[in-house]
Amino acid sequence: MDTALINKFLNNQCLPEEAEDVAGFLLAHPDQLDKFLPIGEWNLKEEVLVLSYDNKLALKQKIDTVISQPRKLFFVKYLRYMVAAACVIMAIFIANFLFHYQQVSLPSITAYKVDYIENLSDKPIDTILPDGANAQLQPGSRLSFKENFSLTKRVQVETGKILFEEHGQTKPLIVIAQGIAVTPLGTKFIVNNRKEKKVVEVELIEGSVKIESIDSSVSLAPVVLNPNQQLRIDLQTLKYTRTAIYPEVKSNQKVKSRAGSKAPDAIWSNQEMRFNQTALPIVLDKIAFQYKVYIAHDRKALSDHRFTGDIYYNDAIETLMEHICQVNNLDYHMKGDTIYLEKRSSTK
C-alpha cells in the first residue's frame, strides 16, 4: 500500500473510494498502524490545565465549529484494538460451535418400505397379515402396512371396506383410516373408509373394539363398540352416530319379538329420538315431522325393515339419511324439502 495514501487517509484527506481501500488494507494488516501511529502517541501524559473564561469561550466556539462539520474518522487510532478484539470473539465462537457440534449426536431417521394390498377384482379377496390376522378386501379397497409391522402392528385402510379377524394375537392390531384408530381385542370387525365423503364406518361382528382419533385436528373421545353395533364418523361435521346393526329383513319375512319382551318402541326426549327395532316407516314419519320435510317412500315395501339407534336433533338431515340408507340398502336424493327414498340398485 502506498505510504503517502495511508498518511493522506490518517489526515482525513482521502476521497471516499481511497478511504475505503486504505481502511480495508489496515483491517487486514493491523500491524502497519505502528509505523504511522507510534505507540508513544497513544500514551499521553496527564496534565491539569486551568482555563480562563475567555479560553473556555474560545474552546466552546471551536468545538461548535468542529461539530457542525462532517465527522472525521476518530476511530483510526483504535482500529488495531478493534480488529484484535473482533478476531478473539470470532475464535471463541468457532471453538464453542465445534465443541458442541462434536458432542451432540443427531437422531437417525429410518425410512421403512410400505407394502400395499389392493383388490382390483369384482369379488372379495382374502389375505393374511404378517401377524396371522385375516383381512378380507371388498372390491376397490386397499390397505397398506410398513415393513416394521411386527413392532407397530399398524395397518392403514387406504380406501374401501375391509373385514378384519384376529386369532388371539399377543399384541392387538391397530387399524387406521383417515386418522381414526380402531384397536380390537380378539375380535371380528369391518372398517369402511369412505374417503370421497370423509366418512369412516366401523362395524363390530364379534368381541369388542376401541375407536379413537390419533389426528390432533379430530376431537373424538374413545368409543367402545359392542357386537352388532356400528359407529359412523363424519370428519366434515366432526360428529358420530352409533347404531345397532341387524341382518337385513327380506320383504316376505316378519320380525318376531323375543318371548316376554316389550313391543318395538320409540322414545323421544328434548335432544334425541331413540328407536328399538322400530318399523322403518314409523322412523321416517318421525324424522319428517322433526326436520319439517316430506319423505316419499314405498311404505309397504319398507314395513318389514327395522331400525335401532339414536337420532340427535342437531344431526344434519343429509348425515341421517345417508346412515339409514347405508344400513337398509337404500338410496335417496333431495329436491327442495322433499326426500325421495328408493331401494338401492344392485349395480352400485
What residues contact 244, with CB distance under 8 A and at least 6 apart?
228, 229, 230, 308, 309
Among 103, 138, 153, give the residue marking a domain's end.
103
Four-CA torsion 45, 51, 57, 58, nearest 10 degrees? -50
Asked if 17 and 82 sit in the same domain, the reply is yes
Write out the H or E segment, with its range, that includes residue 300: helix 299-302
Counted domains in the chain = 3
In this prediction, residue 159 carries a pLDDT of 93
Looking at per-residue confidence, does 117 or 207 come out higher? 117
One-character DSSP codes across 119-141: --SSS-EEEE-TTS-EEEEPTT-
Q: Please give the distance of CA 123 from its chain centroid, rounded to a whole number.
A: 35
**What CATH number has the domain bearing residue 305?**
3.55.50.30
The answer to whether residue 281 sits within a structural domain is yes
pLDDT surpasses 50 at 257: no
Does residue 180 sit in the same domain as residue 288? no
pLDDT for 207 equals 82
Q: Which helix (H) or strand (E) holds 308?
A: strand 306-312
Secondary structure (3-state) at 239: strand
Q: Are residue 335 and residue 269 in the same domain, yes or no?
A: yes
In a shared domain, residues 279 and 325: yes
What is the Cα 38 distance to its own chain's centre? 67
3-state SS, residue 315: coil
Across 295-305, b (16+ Cβ under 10 Å) vs e yields bebeeeebebb
Domain span at 298: 265-343
132 and 229 inside one domain:
yes
Block residue for cell numbers 495514501: 5
Q: What is the pLDDT of residues 126-177, one digit of tens each?
A: 988 888 888 999 999 999 998 888 888 899 999 999 998 876 667 778 899 9
pLDDT digit string (tens) for 275-325?
Answer: 777 888 888 888 888 888 889 888 888 888 888 877 777 778 888 888 888
Q: Tens digit of pLDDT for each residue in 216-239?
A: 877 777 888 878 888 888 888 888
What is the value of pTM for the model shown?
0.44
Distances (CA, A) of 65 to 53, 74, 216, 313: 18, 16, 70, 87
pLDDT above 70 covers what percent of the chain?
75
Contact (CB, 8 A) for 111 and 132 = no
Place of cell 316389550: 262
Same domain, 129 and 234: yes
Q: Taking Cα atoms as reference points, which of 263, 313, 261 lies closest to residue 286?
A: 313
220 within a domain of the structure (yes/no): yes
What are φ and ψ of residue 299, in 5° steps?
Answer: -60, -40
pLDDT of residue 101: 56
Instruction: Check residue 116 and give its pLDDT.
Output: 93
pLDDT digits (tens, 9 = 90+) for 19-75: 777 777 877 777 776 666 655 555 545 555 666 777 777 777 777 776 665 544 444
Q: What is the pLDDT of residues 70-99, one digit of tens each?
A: 544 444 556 666 777 777 788 777 777 666
